[in-house]
Every structure is written in structure tokens, then in C-alpha cells.
């Protein structure tokens, strides 16, 4: 009898939860429908729109990652304004997709903190920490003030020697392979090698650490990333993250390993302080942690040790992940468009000769810059940005209730023909011939590094690194796509080739 009563109570509780969620979902749909905002049929409050039968051939690679967005763009032309917002569901969470540049600018350029980032998945927090990428409000202002000096251009220019030295080691391996094999070509999986290379570069330039420690951090974050990919769409049940499941235990072990490795790097720097902590990213943060002014801590320029660890996580992941994929997609496009590969090689040999490139040489590579920017347009490292208003907000004609998740689909915006021209779907670096501002019909059209006060603090670092590596490859090799390559861009937190980038590499002096 007691068991039956317990089952009845559980059934009643489940029915109440379902009813409450269903009532809430319908209220949200009615509220937005009254504003002319609609979307695809909701498949239940747990499933959202993810199980709708969408046409996966409708939109280049964007449909592969967000088929429901592609479907909505094509199917919900009922909105009068081009690029009007629409509603879709990810599990029980409603999301408003914004595909209008004016509204995007209002969101990203808001200086008053009215739009903040969505709450991060617990495993993402473990992987990248709550650093500059995720903090909000006065904490973001404090972190940004501390970190900005580390990314001054004069300091970045000094890092080009380290960037080139790291790339030189990898290129030497390729040269050795081409010289020892009978074939004049070798096949190289560039996606994986670029990830290793950029991890080594960020470790040496930002943290002054060894390759061994960098690899430990890299592998821990990659394993955490694998957990993120398998759980990102799961409904987050309250308290589930504290249960000792196999996946949670693995996450805790990796998180502890990541923190301990970073603490070793930090403690080593503190122990060898000498005349200062150094002028790289870690040195700037440690100086902010321990600095005093007239015996008192400068509260506006202070980071705690936990915050430093989180920033190390953030910049180690962001500093190698985005640049590695920028390099990967650049190599892909230069293989598909060999005339541009030849143009860049001529430019590199003209400005750098056969020498290791320095900052002054890299600043003269105008066509290289154009190609990298066009790559960011067609293959942005992050394909969606997420925000939510902290209070009820009016966004254009749209009223957004507090906490409504807003999605900015970058690939769709980057391929808007009214903004980028009729060739928006084509690779045309010449559109950036007069700079980013004049590349499209509006000055803020390129969102690869975001725009506004929260734009990527490391974008100059990433561009300098990408130029260094590409210049050194072009000096030594020509390359084409391997017949085994399968074009399948995948949204694995960052946009990357699902099956890697196998390429055929040929030494120029062969």
C-alpha cells in the first residue's frame, strides 16, 4: 500500500512538472506569436526542435550544425522584415534567433551590460574556467584592465620569434619526412598538427612554460571537450553534476589534473621571480595578484589565485583552439584556390625571403591578411554567439522578457548577400583589400572576433601567429588536398573538420 501511494505521489509530481513546463512553453509561444515571431513545431518540452526532419542540403555547412536554424530561415518568411527574428527550442529552453545586423550591433555593442552571456555548461566551466570570456559586470572590467597590457602590440611583436621557432620545429619534421621517403609528396593531417603547434605556442608565449606541461594541459582540455560534446544537449537535472557517475568522476579527475598542472606553472614562476614576474600574460596576472601600492592592494587591478587559474584555462584553450582552426581552414581554402596559394607565396618570398619572419615583415603581408579575414568570414571559429537580457528589453520592434536566450548565427550573417554582395558564398579575399570596415556595406559585418566592448582581446595575437605559421609553410612547401579528405565542418564547440584535414605536402626544392 505504501509503495502504491509513493508511486501515485511520484506520478502526480511528474504530471505537475510536465504541466507546468508545458504551460510555460505555450505561454512563451503565445507571447512571441503576438509579436509576429514564430518558429518550427515544438516536439515536446524535453526534445525541443532537434528532432524535426530538416533538409540537410539547404545551406552549405551551416545546415549541418544548426539544421533547425536553416529550416527556419527558409520556412518562416512570414516575418515582414528580412532577417526577422524567429523562435526555436533546444530541449525545454526557448531561443530567439537574430539574423539582422542592426539588432546584432545593439546586442554586442551595448556598453551598459544589459545583455550578458548565457550560463555556461558545467563541463565547459571545468574546461575553460570563468575567465574573461565568461565573467560579467565589474568583474569583467577588472579582469580586462589587468589583462590588456599583456596584449599590447609591442609585446606581441616580441613573441613572433617564439612563434616562428615553434613552427620551425614542425616544419623541420616535415622536411625530414620528405627527404627520407621515395615519394616527392607526403600526406600530413594538418588539423591535429596545428592543434599541437598552437598549444605549444600559447604555452611558451603566454605562460613561459615547457612543451611537456603544455601537452598535459592540452590533453586534459581535449578530454573535457569530448565530454562537453557528448553532453551539451542533455537536460541539466538539478544536483546531477554532484553524483559520482563514471562521467562525473572522469570530469573531476581531469579538472584536478588541469588545475594541478597550472598551479605547477604558476608556482614555478613565483619561485623564480627575480626582478619581477615577467611581462607575458602570466607575469601580468601575477603582478596584479601580488602588487601593492603604498602598502595597500590595488583593488581595481587585483586577481585572486583562483581567478588566475581560470584565466590560464581560458587563454590556453582559446589561444590555441581558435588559431589552430583558422590555420586549418586557411590551408583548406588555399588548396581549393591554388591561385591564391601562389599569390601568397610570391608575397611572402618578396617580403621575407627565406628568413624566419619577424613582426616588421609580417606587417607587410597585406594579401595574407586579406586571406585570413576571408577565412574568418567563411569559416568562423565559433558559429553562434549567445546572450540574454538581464531585464525586460526592447530590441528593435521585439520585446524580450528577462533571461530570454538570444542566438546570433554567424555563418548566416557572414553570407548575407545584401551586406556582403552577390558573391557572399564565394571565397574572395579582395573584398578586404581596403580593410575590414570597407569590406561590406556595413562596417561591423565581420563577427569572427565579435564586435563591441566584448570583442576578442587576443585577436591581434591570433592574426600574428597565423601569419607567422602560414608564411613559414609557404616558404618551404606547396600543398593540395588529399583524395581522402571529406568536407564535413563540425560544430565541436569550435568549427573544425570532422574527419581532419589530410593534405599532400611537397617541398618546393624537391
* DSSP secondary structure letters along 71-128: HHHHH-TTSSSTT--EEEEETTEEEEE---HHHHHHHHT-TTS-EEEPPPPHHHHHHH
Q: For residues 261 and 283, what is the distance between their CA atoms, to the nearest angstrom?
A: 17
* 3-class state of residue 415 by DSSP: coil
Binding residues for heme: 456
Mean pLDDT of all residues in 368-377: 97
Domains in the chain: boundaries = 25-119+384-414
Name which CATH class applies to 25-119+384-414: alpha beta
Say whether pLDDT at 49 is over 90: no
The answer to whether 453 and 188 are in contact (CB under 8 A) is: no
Q: State the pLDDT at residue 71.
A: 47
Give the side-chain half-sphere CA count within 13 A for 17: 10
pLDDT band at 353 (very low <50, low <70, confident <90, very high): very high
**pLDDT tens digits, residue range 278-301?**
778 888 888 877 764 444 445 556
Mean pLDDT of all residues in 102-122: 85
pLDDT band at 1 (very low <50, low <70, confident <90, very high): low
Say whether pLDDT at 65 is over 70: no
Q: State the pLDDT at residue 63.
A: 40
* Secondary structure element (H or E) that encloses residue 501, with its range: none
**Which among 259, 355, 237 is positioned nearest to 306, based on CA atoms?**
259
Mean pLDDT of all residues in 150-170: 91
* Secondary structure element (H or E) that encloses residue 142, with its range: helix 137-147
Sign of CA dihedral 181, 182, 184, 189: negative
C-beta neighbour count of 507 within 10 angstroms:
16
Q: State the pLDDT at residue 59.
A: 37
Q: State the pLDDT at residue 222.
A: 85
Among residues of the chain, what percentage have pLDDT more than 90? 40
Among residues of the chain, what percentage have pLDDT more than 70? 82
- Give the DSSP letter of residue 43: -
Mean pLDDT of all residues in 204-213: 80
Find the largest Cα–Cα distance for the chain.
88
Least confident stretch, 52-61, 334-343, 414-423: 52-61
Least confident stretch, 169-173, 188-192, 235-239, 504-508: 235-239
Q: For residues 363 and 282, what is the distance between their CA atoms, to the nearest angstrom?
A: 26
Q: State the pLDDT at residue 67.
A: 45
Across the chain, mean pLDDT equals 83
Q: For residues 112 and 221, what is the distance between their CA atoms, to the nearest angstrom?
A: 33
Binding residues: 456
C-alpha separations of 140 from 136, 242, 303, 311, 342 in Å? 5, 28, 11, 11, 43
Place of cell 569559416: 379
First to last CA, the chain: 85
Q: State the pLDDT at residue 43.
A: 62
Say whether pLDDT at 478 is over 80: yes
Mean pLDDT of all residues in 467-494: 92
Mean pLDDT of all residues in 143-151: 90
pTM, 2 dp: 0.88
Alpha helices by DSSP H, 276-400: 281-290, 305-336, 338-352, 359-363, 366-378
Amino acid at each position: 500500500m505504501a509503495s502504491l501511494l509513493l508511486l501515485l505521489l511520484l506520478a502526480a509530481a511528474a504530471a505537475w512538472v510536465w504541466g507546468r513546463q508545458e504551460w510555460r512553453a505555450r505561454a512563451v509561444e503565445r507571447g512571441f506569436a503576438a509579436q509576429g515571431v514564430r518558429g518550427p513545431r515544438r516536439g515536446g518540452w524535453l526534445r525541443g526542435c532537434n528532432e524535426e526532419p530538416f533538409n540537410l542540403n539547404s545551406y552549405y555547412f551551416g545546415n549541418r550544425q544548426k539544421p533547425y536554424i536553416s529550416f527556419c530561415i527558409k520556412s518562416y518568411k512570414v516575418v515582414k522584415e528580412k532577417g526577422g527574428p524567429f523562435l526555436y527550442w533546444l530541449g525545454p529552453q526557448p531561443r530567439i534567433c537574430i539574423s539582422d545586423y542592426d539588432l546584432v550591433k545593439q546586442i554586442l555593442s551595448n556598453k551598459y551590460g544589459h545583455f550578458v552571456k548565457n550560463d555556461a555548461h558545467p563541463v565547459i566551466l571545468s574546461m575553460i574556467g570563468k575567465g574573461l570570456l565568461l565573467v560579467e559586470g565589474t568583474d569583467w572590467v577588472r579582469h580586462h584592465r589587468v589583462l590588456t597590457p599583456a596584449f599590447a602590440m609591442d609585446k606581441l611583436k616580441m613573441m613572433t620569434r617564439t612563434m616562428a621557432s615553434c613552427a620551425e620545429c614542425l616544419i623541420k619534421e616535415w622536411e625530414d619526412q620528405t627527404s627520407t621517403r621515395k615519394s616527392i609528396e607526403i600526406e600530413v593531417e594538418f588539423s591535429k598538427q596545428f592543434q599541437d603547434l598552437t598549444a605549444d605556442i600559447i604555452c611558451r608565449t603566454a605562460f613561459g612554460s615547457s612543451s611537456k606541461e603544455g601537452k598535459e594541459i592540452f590533453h586534459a582540455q581535449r578530454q573535457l571537450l569530448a565530454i562537453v560534446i557528448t553532453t551539451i544537449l542533455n537536460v541539466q537535472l538539478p544536483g546531477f553534476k554532484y553524483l559520482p557517475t563514471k562521467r562525473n568522476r572522469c570530469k573531476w579527475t581531469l579538472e584536478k589534473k588541469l588545475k594541478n598542472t597550472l598551479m605547477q606553472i604558476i608556482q614555478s614562476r613565483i619561485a623564480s621571480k627575480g626582478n619581477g614576474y615577467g611581462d607575458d600574460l602570466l607575469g601580468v596576472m601575477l603582478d596584479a595578484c601580488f602588487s601593492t601600492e603604498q602598502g595597500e592592494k590595488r583593488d581595481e587591478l587585483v586577481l585572486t589565485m583562483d581567478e588566475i587559474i581560470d584565466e590560464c584555462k581560458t587563454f590556453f584553450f582559446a589561444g590555441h583552439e581558435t588559431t589552430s582552426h583558422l590555420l586549418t581552414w586557411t590551408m583548406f581554402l588555399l588548396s581549393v584556390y591554388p591561385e591564391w596559394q601562389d599569390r601568397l607565396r610570391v608575397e611572402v618570398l618578396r617580403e621575407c625571403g627565406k628568413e624566419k619572419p619577424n613582426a616588421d615583415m609580417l606587417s607587410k603581408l597585406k594579401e595574407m591578411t586579406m586571406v585570413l579575414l576571408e577565412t574568418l568570414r567563411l569559416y568562423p571559429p565559433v558559429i553562434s554567439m549567445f546572450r540574454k537580457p538581464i531585464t525586460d528589453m526592447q530590441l528593435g520592434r521585439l520585446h524580450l522578457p528577462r533571461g530570454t536566450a538570444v542566438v546570433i548565427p554567424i555563418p548566416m550573417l557572414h553570407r548575407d548577400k545584401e551586406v556582403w554582395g552577390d558573391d557572399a558564398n564565394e571565397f574572395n579575399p579582395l573584398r578586404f583589400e581596403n580593410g575590414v570596415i570597407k569590406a561590406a556595406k556595413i562596417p561591423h559585418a565581420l563577427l569572427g572576433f565579435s564586435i563591441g566592448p566584448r570583442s576578442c582581446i587576443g585577436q591581434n595575437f591570433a592574426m600574428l601567429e597565423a601569419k607567422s605559421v602560414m608564411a613559414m609553410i609557404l616558404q618551404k612547401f606547396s600543398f593540395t588536398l588529399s583524395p581522402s579528405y571529406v568536407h564535413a565542418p563540425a560544430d565541436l564547440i569550435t568549427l573544425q573538420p570532422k574527419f581532419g584535414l589530410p593534405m599532400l605536402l611537397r617541398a618546393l626544392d624537391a
